[in-house]
Amino acid sequence: MIHQTTVKKEFRLTGLGLHTGRTVTVVVKPAPPDFGIVFRRTDCTNIITQPARAASIGETARGTTLGSGRHTIATIEHLMSALHGAQIDNAIIELDGGEIPILDGSSRPWMLQLTRVGSQELAAERKVYTISEPLHFEVKNTGSIYDVEPCDHFAVDCKIDFPNSVIGCQEATLENMTDYAAGIAPCRTFVFLHEIEPLLKLNLIKGGSLDNALVFVNKELSPRQLKRLEKTFNKDASHFKVHDGVLNTTDPFFSNEPARHKLLDFIGDIRLVGTTFNARFRIFKPGHKANVAFANYITNYTTNNPQ
């Protein structure tokens, strides 16, 4: 029998929300068996509690958001991915704001803390759902495709396809969760330069910087663009150099880092089903909206086909 787990002791991390730009402190605490992953906003008059389940997801533009209305909990995917990667079944996530900090744009800071505090087994069996037949799911308006095949462990093959030369078509694979910490967790979120100003106008990415996202550029920067970048990132133009289509001062960790980051996001979003899987997921052009739609589909499938 594989036992359920939780964190051995609590830990906290503080940082800026990617979209709000506000400082938020997150405390990850141990939880009892069959509790699942539950988020709590402690900054509200009445503490808001939200189980991390697909049916509770509201907004999916540029992140996965629990709830709707005034008391949402935004950008949960990187923390959820780290919890899944560390195979933590139960945890209480308390935060004093409405968005999980972006930190360095990956799951690595969360994974480092989860590794540092360690996990403890609980007196209950882990819920693992074994897929016994091939499944196929498509999201027509995004072009996203999800195929599931029987497998004796959890594995993911991810393929992305962007209509430009700086990213283009890339693939990434997670064959076993033991590879997650080194091969997936460090991979940062990414954005195209031409998307930044529209996102700012939508009141998003206020906490974004060249330190927590890969910024891709598919053409030479003009003097006018450099001036806008100086204002956007509050940096002198000398900081902005494009190398192999990447604006950042640091190179990507992997040649296929965008595909690996999309895989990272999927690992967080699929954990919204509330169970772990023995299955191989083959995903094409994933995104948060499509991931959540797929997570709801799989939730319904497991409910209608109990084991």
The catalytically annotated residue of 19, 78, 84, 288 is 288
Cα dihedral 261, 267, 272, 278, rounded to 10, equals 160
136 included as an active-site residue = no
Nearest to 253 by CA among 116, 39, 104: 104
Q: Which residues contact 300 (CB under 8 A, 6 or more apart)?
A: none
What's 206's DSSP letter?
Answer: T
Q: What are phi and psi of 288, to 5 degrees?
A: -60, -45
Helix (H) or strand (E) holding 303: helix 288-304
Q: Which residues contact 246 (CB under 8 A, 6 or more apart)?
A: 166, 214, 215, 216, 217, 252
Residue with tokens 């996102």: 199
* Tokens of residue 172, six digits: 């990434």
Q: Which residues contact 96 (CB under 8 A, 6 or more apart)?
A: 24, 25, 41, 42, 43
* Tokens of residue 271, six digits: 């954990």
The sign one gets for the Cα dihedral 85, 271, 186, 39 is: negative
Residue with tokens 């991931």: 291
Catalytic residues: 288
